[in-house]
Amino acid sequence: MPVEKTALDSIDLDALHVAAKAAAEDVIRSHGWKGMVEDADLLGTDERYLVLPDPAVALALIEEVRHLRQTLQQPRVPDGFALVPQSMLLSKDVIGVINFHCGDTDQEEGGQFGQYTDGRLWVGYVLDDDGNKVHGLHIATDEYPEEGSTTLVEFPEAGAQQEAKKCGACGGCTNGCQLDNDSPVVQP
């Protein structure tokens, strides 16, 4: 995710850090401003960094800005949200799973498009029948949670490195995409 430029981008934190550290150690206060700039081998334009109200505060501010810059460069996902592939094919088998969890196929009670119950989709990890952690899109019915959940589409967690495996559905994608040769590829 690209980081937008801010007003802080024009501040040379390294130069400000050197000046504030020197001020905190009283190195630059022992000279006049002109002598200090010459002795510190600073350019005249760097004098703006030397007008510091409190060196300790300036040093703390510099560290905070560095931390904020680093934080802003990290991909962020708001709490309660997850990054998912741009496209996921729900094959006819997966649609059958959705109907199993949330649909009523009893002909006497309305048939194939009769009564349905609420379902809950979520992205994350579940343990499969073999005890393996599986990441992907899962479904469960709210009405009968004791029925458990089913993984509809497997995909790696955003940012996770995963070696390429053939899933058998399309012959060359990453594991768990459930695609055929004519479908768009899941983009993790």
Do 68 and 111 fall within a single domain?
no
Flag whether 53 is in a domain.
yes
pLDDT grade for 184, boundaries at 50, 70 and 90: very low
Stretch 40-67: mean pLDDT, rounded? 66
Residue 7 has pLDDT above 70, yes or no: no
Domain ranges, residue 61? 7-73
Highest mean pLDDT: which range of 26-30, 40-44, 67-71, 74-78: 67-71
Do 64 and 113 fall within a single domain?
no
Residue 111 pLDDT: 56
Residue 11 pLDDT: 66
Flag whether 78 is in a domain.
no
Flag whether 88 is in a domain.
no
Flag whether 91 is in a domain.
no
Flag whether 136 is in a domain.
yes
Residue 178 has pLDDT above 50, yes or no: no
Do 67 and 25 fall within a single domain?
yes
Choosing from 38, 73, 108, the residue where a domain stops is 73
Residues of the chain above pLDDT 90, percent: 3
Q: Are 98 and 120 in contact (CB under 8 A)?
A: no
Provide the pairing of β-strand 150-154 with 133-141.
antiparallel
b/e 1-40 (16+ beta carbons within 10 angstroms → b): eeeeeeeeeeeeeebbbebbebbbeeebeeeeeeebbeeb
Phi/psi of residue 83, each to 5°? Answer: -80, 135
Do 62 and 118 fall within a single domain?
no
Flag whether 83 is in a domain.
no
Do 104 and 63 fall within a single domain?
no
Residue 82 pLDDT: 82
Say which amino acid occupies 163: E
Do 57 and 106 fall within a single domain?
no
Do 69 and 103 fall within a single domain?
no
Residue 181 pLDDT: 41
Residue 182 pLDDT: 41
Flag whether 179 is in a domain.
no
Q: How many domains does the chain have?
A: 2
